[in-house]
Amino acid sequence: MEHLERCARVLRATLVRAAVRRYLPWALAASMLAGSFLKELSPLPESYLSNKRNVLNVYFVKVAWAWTFCLLLPFIALTNYHLTGKAGLVLRRISTLLVGTAIWYVCTAIFSNVEHYTGSCYKSPALEGIRKEHQNKQQCHQEGGFWHGFDISGHSFLLSFCALMIVEEMAVLHEVKTDRSHHLHTAITTLVVALGFLTFIWVCMFLCTAVYFHDLSQKVFGTLFGLLGWYGTYGFWYLKSFSPGLPPQSSSLNLKRDSYKK
């Protein structure tokens, strides 16, 4: 338990800082561009992380929203109820996960449709010989073809969106004070560590996507959707009264407005 406590303290001292929330979006955008230019100008040698079947990609990134949802749900519920004691407010804050689910669903549907309407089925990965009889990606793959369209990076979108959402929700830790002997303290500490490591995985895999996969334009659009999903909610809508609201903290609304003005 002592190791868990130390790890949680380190994460509180880093991820919970206002500067992290303010500059992480810019850091993600800059790293995406830097990684993409590196991929184009001086590609890195293949590694374990460049293999799409690596453990982090298969068991974490492929279900990134499920991991984020399942860990944020108890974290938001416990911390918000501990601070407010109001079930109605807790349910209102939990609805941020429903909003996030809607953003994930709509964006991935858009990406799929863009790839479908801009794509064609080819006989080989070298894009030789169009197979006009196959009009969609699924049919093309079933018949041994290779579908090529404008494939907006779902990884760039989802990993940036999830990382930013976790950091925003962890801001509540500025206000959370619990008795170390209480079960609630153990539960929140465990969730803080889990969410911290999850954020680390999302950022690392975001960087791997930048240096190993997709074209620059595909990653730009994917990252843009992630940043817009985050800013449209935490930077704009959640500041309004008719919204799920921001995590409860002292003068949260004023602090949040000031952070986005700077």
Active-site residue identified among 134, 141, 155, 183: 155
pLDDT tens per residue, range 160-212: 999 999 999 999 998 888 776 678 889 999 999 999 999 999 999 999 999 99
* H-run or E-run covering 121: strand 120-122
Please tell me whether residue 238 adopts helix, strand or coil conformation.
helix
Q: Which of 3, 82, 134, 214 is catalytic?
A: 214
Please check whether residue 69 is in contact with residue 62, taking contact to mean a CB–CB distance below 8 angstroms: no
In the chain, the amino acid numbered 212 is: Y
Concerning whether 214 is annotated as a catalytic residue, the answer is yes
Q: Encode 65-95: b = buried (16+ Cβ within 10 Å), e = exposed.
A: bebbbebbeebbebbbbbbeeeeebbeebbe
Residue 247 neighbours by CB distance under 10 Å: 23
pLDDT in tens, 66-91: 999 999 999 999 999 998 889 999 99
pLDDT tier, 227 (very low <50, low <70, confident <90, very high otherwise): very high
How far apart are the C-alpha atoms of 150 and 113, rounded to whole Å?
10
The pTM of this model reads 0.90
182 is catalytic: no
